[in-house]
Structure 1
């Protein structure tokens, strides 16, 4: 059950849109009622539909609002504190404003070279698993997505775990989850993709601190 409204099973689309608490935030911010009231089975389908009608700036603001809705949900679950819709919206608005001001006033110390990056398909018959993790105090959130050689999503997992470890160990935990998924599905040809350079370097026994993202483990 949803920990905030208790009306139905908590899915991602429910937590970010259909929950009465989340819906109140979107309505308070003047979000188009068409996208608030319409029904979607998957959250990604809803976000795609919204993205088609927003410009880049507004879409960035929208994502920040969703992020704050999710943070508010976590505050309820882990701290038993509930925030008013106006408070959540104001936090998102302030974060967007501060971010734009910072970008106008500050210049990066090290200019990054322009580089186009995109998801690379694995070989024929190979399943590629992209995984990532984030640490917040003693809690770890993770996600992994498995795609075939045509780029179609065939499986995925996400969750929150209580773990007293650093980011590198969190990434290792998700790698373990990825391997367990592959074992369950009996996938024989695998490719793992992580942006955690330290983890990849340790597994490959490379004693150089690489900084480029998008390392690949075969």
Structure 2
């Protein structure tokens, strides 16, 4: 049995890009261990300044996809809390099979 690599052998460097003027970009991600799920959210304006964010943990086991969905849900809460009307949501693209 051959194991597939979890991440690409030649990772493509990513750089944060500013959103359009008047738009806020919210980046979110999640991590899963055996019994806990953690998430992080950060909101930046079109100049790259941090205007909000948050992080947290759940004592719950989840798949990676469900954890991402949970982090996205938390991102929506932050957008509403900050009264953001124009927003772009972004997360990484690495997926573990």
Structures share a fold, TM > 0.5? yes
Structure-2-length-normalised TM-score: 0.81
Is 2:32–2:61's contact at 8 Å kept on the other side of the alignment? no
Shift of 1:156: 1.2
Aligned runs of 1:187-198 on 2, under 5 Å?
187-196=84-93
Larger relative contact order, structure 1 or 2 (CA cutoff 8 Å, min sep 6): 2
TM-score, length of structure 1 as denominator length: 0.38
Within 2, Cα distance between the matches of 1:139 and 1:193? 23
Query: In 1, distance between residues paired with 2:38 and 2:62?
Result: 12
Shift of 1:116: 4.5
Q: Tell me the number of residue pairs that the alignment of Structure 1 and Structure 2 aligns.
A: 88
Tell me, in whole angstroms, the C-alpha distance in 2 between the residues paired with 1:133 and 1:195.
10
Structure 1 spans left out of the alignment, 5+ residues = 1-109, 199-218
Match of 1:123 in 2: 20
Map 1:30-45 → 2, pairs under 5 A: none
2: CA distance, partners of 1:169 / 1:123? 29
CA distance in 1 between counterparts of 2:9 and 2:71 reads 32
Matched, 1:141 2:38: yes
Q: Distance in 2 between matches of 1:159 and 1:185?
A: 18
RMSD: 1.8
SS in 2 for 1:150: coil
Q: 2:80 aligns with which of 169, 173, 183?
A: 183
Q: Which runs of 5+ in 2 are unaligned?
A: 1-7
Larger radius of gyration: 1
Residues 43, 50 of structure 2: 8 Å contact kept: yes
* Equivalent position of 2:10 in the other structure: 112
What SS is found at the alignment partner of 1:191? Answer: strand
1:88-127, Cα deviation, whole Å (9 max, x unpaired)? xxxxxxxxxxxxxxxxxxxxxx7527x5431000001111
Instruction: Indicate the SS of the match to 1:175.
Output: helix
